[in-house]
Structure 1
């Protein structure tokens, strides 16, 4: 993989952007909203993991009619909470004193449609692909809710597209860092998985392949399903949680705990090797706290899971297909990085570009604002 000249070493030496700080919202309310988002994001996936992989931990749960009934109604309840919370936030920020009648109609209508679609998507569909699309719809609705919660607390997530060549180079450098963290966490879990299987230790470990455990049998289903994965994990669990808790000046250990624990639990179907996801989660938290750019996280996580899942799905093919796919991915990354770096050279000044800031465009003074009241 070709690394641009200013990518990793220079990027790591740049100062972190000053985090957004709340000035009028009680810190405890922000923490409650953050925990609420985490519960909405993790509740149903954890139930599914407990049912499908609970035998690894001694749980005697089965896919009975009663269990399916409880799971369906749990997911519907979560979607209903997302619907009402999303509509309440969008309606609250779109009075006629702030927006035009047309803007209010469009934004409120979109919130109602998104929330209703998320509720409808929880229905059991007979076609597996339809179920995957339904999960994507719900995941996108929940991601929008996370954006609205951050916006309500005046901690907007930086989701703007880069407009200049230098900004694109900066985002590409961050994407490489996130991809490196994803590879490190995935490789650690993979090594632990095979080490435990080889030693035969009496600890919980996934039986069979990861794609088979997740019920994915082709690359199309994998790619579509990754939409909900990045929406829940990157937008809600990593970005929103990190941004909100940083804004109320919570200690770093609390932020890392509230992100790493859900990430490990969501990958509990791996068994003990799920602890490798600590690197996967903690590294992304550290990078987001430092750079605060969401789009590179979405792109890197999606690409990593797509290529990694594709390699697993190719196990039935001759072995040389897998290194060929890995080589092709490396060539594409190098080619794209070279193009981004070449485009940024004419526009790049002698000094290094400014780090990302709260509005994504204009550097701000690095003064320290007053802390948030916790009363």
Structure 2
């Protein structure tokens, strides 16, 4: 079908379009900096502390400044994206700016930077990150309707795919936690002398639940799904959208010491899930749910036992997913992925 370009309506300023790879990379790095910049900095500082104590101002003052800058920058970026997307004079940009300001003030008070709530629950940061990821993806022409989907049809796929992705993410995080715990106990160093909950300064069940939700959002949406979707849609080389989320996932777990390497393997598997299924929110949900056994079971063996139980269910889910394909005999996904440069 040929469309006469002369008669086609001119594009509007708010119409999303896939952007160049360098713009996609810049926005992916911006998302990571806003969502995880302070955590990346603190993880590197804590890793360096395994070889010798760092000056207190380096960890305390610099971390506070980075948190304040990242939260403020995220709120301003969100307001700007919505303003650009909507026509001048619209009420929605003003409403968004107000909502972003409220979330930013809530987040700053939650972190203790402003007087107020305190407690370091990070719910406001999770909401801000989720909203910002959605707007950045829309800016690049990536909407839920345009996301890559597995080659399946039928109503059953609508619930099967998210469940498969969520449970797979849950299994992967549990395996990563369990293997990391075994490495911590028996593997080569340097490793931290504290458990993960103590290092993250989590002291109550509500704080643990909220921090698990925050971790799922920032690690699986801002660090993994968004960069992969942005860079693939812009035609960036495969090594960029694999190395970026995988490498930074290792960095953000460096506070554990050498066991952080395990999370690189988890990161590779998460990238495969994003490319295969095109689902982001189930990754975050699975990650958040997987953190629960960390406090309910022994640090090294517990997550592995839980992962084994859930893995049995995952095998059944993958079989179900295969049965829902139009052609269950189609070539394996990984074989197609590595032979055609990651395209579908």
* TM-score bracket relative to the smaller structure: 0.7 to 0.9
Given the two structures, how large is their TM-score scaled by the length of structure 1?
0.69
Q: Secondary structure at the match of 1:130?
A: coil
Query: Is the counterpart of residue 142 in structure 1 residue 129 in structure 2?
Result: yes
Give the match for residue 33 of structure 2. Answer: 39
Q: Which runs of 5+ in 1 are unaligned?
A: 1-21, 356-367
CA distance in structure 2 between the aligned counterparts of 1:193 and 1:232, rounded to whole angstroms: 25
- Give 4+ residue runs of structure 1 displaced > 6 Å after superposition: none
Within 5 A, what are the aligned runs for 1:207-222? 207-222=193-208
In the other structure, the counterpart of 1:74 is: 66
Q: Does 1:110 align with 2:99?
A: yes
Native 8 Å contact 1:46 1:266 kept in 2: yes
Count of residue correspondences: 305
The answer to whether structure 1 residue 130 and structure 2 residue 121 are counterparts is no
In the other structure, the counterpart of 2:177 is 186
Query: Structure 2 CA distance, aligned partners of 1:126 and 1:265?
Result: 31
Q: Is the 8 A contact 1:179 1:300 kept in 2?
A: yes
- Contact kept in structure 1, 2:228 and 2:271, CA below 8 Å: yes
- Deviation string 1:62-93 (CA, Å, 9 cap, x unpaired) is 434x7523321221111221121111001111
1:230 alignment counterpart: 216
Judge conservation of contact 2:174–2:291 (CA < 8 Å) in 1.
no
Please tell me whether residue 60 in structure 1 is matched to residue 53 in structure 2.
yes
| Distance 1:95-1:300 versus aligned 2 partners, 3 A rule | same
Asked if residue 257 in structure 1 is aligned to residue 250 in structure 2, the reply is: no
1:159 to 1:186, Cα distance in 2 relative to 1, 3 A: farther
Shift in CA distance, 295/116, structure 1 to aligned 2, threshold 3 Å: same
**Alignment partner, residue 138 of structure 2:** 151
Hey, what's the Cα distance between the residues in 2 that align with 1:170 and 1:86?
30
Matched ranges for 1:265-304 at <5 A: 265-304=251-290
Question: Any conservation in 2 of the 1:52–1:62 contact (CA below 8 Å)?
Answer: no
Query: Is the Cα–Cα contact under 8 Å of residues 159 and 295 in structure 1 kept in the other structure?
Result: no
Q: 1:86 to 1:68 in 2, by over 3 A?
A: same
Q: Deviation of residue 269 (structure 1)?
A: 1.3
Does 1 or 2 have the higher relative contact order (CA < 8 Å, sep 6+)? 1
Give the direction of change, closer, same or farther, for the CA distance of 1:102–1:209 in structure 2 (3 Å limit).
same
Equivalent of 1:352 in 307, 314, 324: 324
CA contact (8 A) 2:223 2:245 kept: yes
How far 1:46 moved relative to its partner?
Answer: 2.4
- In 2, the alpha carbon distance for the partners of 1:72 and 1:249 equals 37
Aligned pair partner of 2:160 in 136, 152, 169: 169
Deviates most, 245-254 or 115-124: 115-124
How far is the alpha carbon of 1:48 from its aligned partner?
2.4
Q: Aligned Cα RMSD in Å? A: 3.9
Residues 1:165 and 1:219: Cα distance change in structure 2 (over 3 Å): farther
TM-score by structure 2 length? 0.74
1:84 aligned onto 2:72 = no
- Answer yes or no: is the 8 Å Cα contact 2:213–2:285 preserved in 1: no
Q: After superposition, where does 1:25-36 map in structure 2 within 5 Å?
A: 25-36=19-30
Distance 1:40 1:62 in 2: 25
